[in-house]
Amino acid sequence: MDLPTQPVSALGDDAALVERARANDPAAFDELVQRYKQRIYGTIYHMTSNHEDANDLAQETFIRAFKNLHRFKGDSSFYTWIYRIAVNTTINFLNSHRRRSKNFLSLDDVDARVQDDPDFIERTSGEGPAGEVAANELMRQLNVALQKLSPDHRLVVTLYDIQGLSHAEIAKITNSSEGTVRSRLYYARLQLQQLLKRYLPEKN
């Protein structure tokens, strides 16, 4: 599975698919789902740290999108729109439940390629089974730290540092200014820096 690091613009033109989906072409909406399921799922998962919730909320997101497709005016791109639905659905869920998500991380959840990543090697010292354990422990600690942030702070970190979106894109998705996004990102990182101190070099 490819990591969701390619720019969204590289995914091609969504407008034609949206038009076809509006004209009751189910294949077109399926194509949109295939395009964005991984990103949407990933965003929600990093927000909730729970696969069951992420799966449910990702489906909820696409169901809402399907039902409200007639309201999509095209003022923004489809991916901004679908992200906004996903973000609102997730934040509403987090606010209404206000519970600590259980972490259902399993060994299969961490891509084995992480062990080749220089940043991973720098922070852990292990290959093979020891590397897997180290990777899972690291991911668990990252999830625990992320769960300690408020939903607003967790969202900007997820979208910027993990999903690789730009400040401008996040501002559109969250319906706020770029300054607000930068501010939230800064204060979220300050907290994470304290929470993940043991994995960071002293100087940082």
- Please, is 162 exposed, middle or buried when counting C-beta atoms within 10 Å of its C-beta (0-12, 13-18, 19+)? middle
> Among residues 15 and 200, whose Cβ is nearest to other proteins?
200
Q: Which letter, b or e, does each residue of 16-26 get, where b requires 16 or more Cβ atoms within 10 Å of its Cβ?
A: ebbebbeeeee
> Among residues 76 and 144, whose Cβ is nearest to other proteins?
144
Give the amino acid at 112. Answer: A
Contacts of other proteins in 47-86 (CB under 8 A): 51, 55, 58-59, 62-63, 66
End-to-end CA distance of the chain: 32
> Among residues 87 and 192, whose Cβ is nearest to other proteins?
192
Residue 103 interacts with other proteins (CB under 8 A): yes or no: no
- Contact segment (CB under 8 A) with other proteins among 13-21, 68-76, 77-85, 131-139 equals 131-139
Distance CA 37, CA 47 (A): 15
- Contact segment (CB under 8 A) with other proteins among 17-25, 74-82, 126-134, 180-188 equals 180-188
- Please, is 204 exposed, middle or buried when counting C-beta atoms within 10 Å of its C-beta (0-12, 13-18, 19+)? exposed
Report CA torsion sign: 19, 176, 88, 155: positive
Q: Return the structure tokens found at 69.
A: 């497709």
Q: Which of 98, 99, 108, 129 touches other proteins (CB under 8 A)?
A: 108
Q: Which of 7, 12, 74, 179 touches other proteins (CB under 8 A)?
A: 179
**Shortest distance (Å) from residue 202 CB to other proteins:** 10
Q: Pick from 146, 150, 53: which is nearest to 104 by CA?
A: 53
List residues near other proteins by CB under 8 A. 1, 3-5, 30, 33-34, 37-38, 41-42, 45-46, 51, 55, 58-59, 62-63, 66, 92-93, 95-96, 105, 108-111, 113-114, 117, 119-120, 123, 135, 138-139, 142, 148-150, 153, 157, 161-162, 176-177, 179-180, 182-197, 199-201, 204
